[in-house]
Structure 1
Amino acid sequence: MDRSSGLSKKCCYRATSDEDKADRISNPPENILSHILSLLPTKDAVRTSVLSTEWVYRWTSIYNISFDDNLCNFEACNNKAKRGRFMSFVERVLLLCRNTVFEELQLFCRWNYDHSRVKTSMSAMLRCTVKKVDIRYDGPLNFPKIFFSCDSVIELKLRVRDVRLPDDSLHSNLKILAPSSVCIQSLGLQSTRNLFTFPVLEKLHFQKCQ
């Protein structure tokens, strides 16, 4: 009698343990879900909002954001309407994201967009705490002033056809700087020299820059 009782208790214990494991898989903690969604391309993370009512805003906790006009169903952004849709997507993501601390922000654009909208979106990105920034823009781009004094950025990659910089810029925590195919020009009217201040820079890689 005691043995059967013991076996019964043991079986019950195993069943409960299996149920707990199933619960962990079907209902993972929010931080695990956020990590998984952050590993996805941003367009795919946003698409999870259609899964159920519980998932409508779950993607807004991501801490990696990548905007790529070649991957966001705007493959032929060679007309004004499609470029406008892409920028609206960028603005919506930045507006709804709950995080104020990001590991990495990427902006890859193969077409020219409304400069004022791009500049506003970049300002919104950099007002957050961002560790890594990677910008590729196939055309000239006027960066917002905050870009030249963002203390949180430790790694900066640039591939922009034409970058206009102020006479001096300070990135106090920047450790890695990698501009590629960049034409650097001064914004100063009387100066053709730029003063770049990177007190903790560890790696500098210029490639095909002017």
Structure 2
Amino acid sequence: MLLRSGKKLSHKNSCADIDEINEDVITRLPVDVLKKILCLLPESEANRTRILSYKWMEICAFLPNLRFVMPSCVSIQQANKFHSFVDATLAIRGTEPIKRFSISYSKICNYRRADALLCTLVSQYKVQEIELMFPDDHRKRIRFCWPLFKTCETLVALTLKGKFVLDVPGDVLFPCLKKIDLGMEAQQVSSSVWKDTQLGEDRHLMNKFRETV
């Protein structure tokens, strides 16, 4: 009985060793190869690899598309940890341009830091697509920082979900915008949203306006 038990234990240990070796082999692949592998995965699965190790978190930071989902927070301190995580990811990335950036916030979040993040995306990362989602909270109406886009020459797609106030200044330009998705409560909608966009025959406009309560 003792010998048989020992054999089983030895077998389990050998399997664990094989798994460890296999993980090392994958991790030792060139970073460019690992990036390509992650790009082939669905975003949700690629993002899960961040928890494997710091190296995988670094690799995820350099993917062309970044997606963040804030967990439900019970305090502003918890929310700030999420904001800090996003900032740390961008710090790892440096100044490499971002193709698509998607972020979803919970009801408790630091709106000043969310605004600062958007400023960083536009000014430093030449982002092409932005998806910004806030929860439907009747207590808060978010004023989108349209002046950021006065000289933004990279944005081709913009998605806003939540209760935004669309008081768009007349001097805001969208020189490259081809797609805009406004899934929000339309309190104020200015015609200047569309006036200066370069929307051709391939335009894809999804206006999901709900009546103001």
TM-score, length of structure 1 as denominator length: 0.69
* 1:129 equivalent in structure 2: 126
* 1:205 equivalent in structure 2: 206
Q: Deviation of residue 124 (structure 1)?
A: 1.1
Residue 47 of structure 1, aligned match among 48, 51, 55: 51
- Taking a change above 3 Å as real, the CA distance of residues 185 and 208 of structure 1, as seen in their structure-2 partners, is closer
- Taking a change above 3 Å as real, the CA distance of residues 141 and 100 of structure 1, as seen in their structure-2 partners, is farther
In the aligned structure 1, how far is the partner of 2:56 from the partner of 2:50?
Answer: 10
Instruction: Give 3-state SS (helix, strand or coil) of 2:98's partner.
Output: strand
- Taking a change above 3 Å as real, the CA distance of residues 170 and 112 of structure 1, as seen in their structure-2 partners, is farther
TM-score, length of structure 2 as denominator length: 0.68
What CA deviation, in whole Å up to 9, does each residue of 1:55-112 have, x standing for no partner?
573333222111111xxxx3x3132221121111122112221352112100111214
* 2:162 equivalent in structure 1: 160
* 2:7 equivalent in structure 1: none
How many correspondences in the alignment?
173
Instruction: Give 3-state SS (helix, strand or coil) of 1:165's partner.
Output: coil
- Taking a change above 3 Å as real, the CA distance of residues 25 and 59 of structure 1, as seen in their structure-2 partners, is closer
In the aligned structure 2, how far is the partner of 1:198 from the partner of 1:56?
Answer: 37
Instruction: Give 3-state SS (helix, strand or coil) of 1:179's partner.
Output: strand
Percent identity between the two aligned chains = 17
What CA deviation, in whole Å up to 9, does each residue of 1:129-160 have, x standing for no partner?
21211111124323333145422111111112
* 1:81 equivalent in structure 2: 77
Q: Which structure shows the higher strand fraction?
A: 1
In the aligned structure 2, how far is the partner of 1:147 from the partner of 1:209?
Answer: 25
- Taking a change above 3 Å as real, the CA distance of residues 60 and 167 of structure 1, as seen in their structure-2 partners, is closer
Matched, 1:177 2:173: no
* 2:35 equivalent in structure 1: 34
* 2:9 equivalent in structure 1: none
In the aligned structure 2, how far is the partner of 1:204 from the partner of 1:159?
Answer: 14
In the aligned structure 2, how far is the partner of 1:96 from the partner of 1:31?
Answer: 16
In the aligned structure 1, how far is the partner of 2:198 from the partner of 2:116?
Answer: 28
RMSD: 2.8
In the aligned structure 1, how far is the partner of 2:57 from the partner of 2:163?
Answer: 38
Structure 2 residue runs without a partner (length 5+): 1-24
Q: Deviation of residue 179 (structure 1)?
A: 0.6
In the aligned structure 2, how far is the partner of 1:32 from the partner of 1:115?
Answer: 37
- Taking a change above 3 Å as real, the CA distance of residues 143 and 37 of structure 1, as seen in their structure-2 partners, is farther
In the aligned structure 2, how far is the partner of 1:29 from the partner of 1:130?
Answer: 26
In the aligned structure 1, how far is the partner of 2:120 from the partner of 2:185?
Answer: 23
Look at both structures and tell me which one has the larger radius of gyration over its CA atoms. 1
In the aligned structure 2, how far is the partner of 1:180 from the partner of 1:61?
Answer: 29
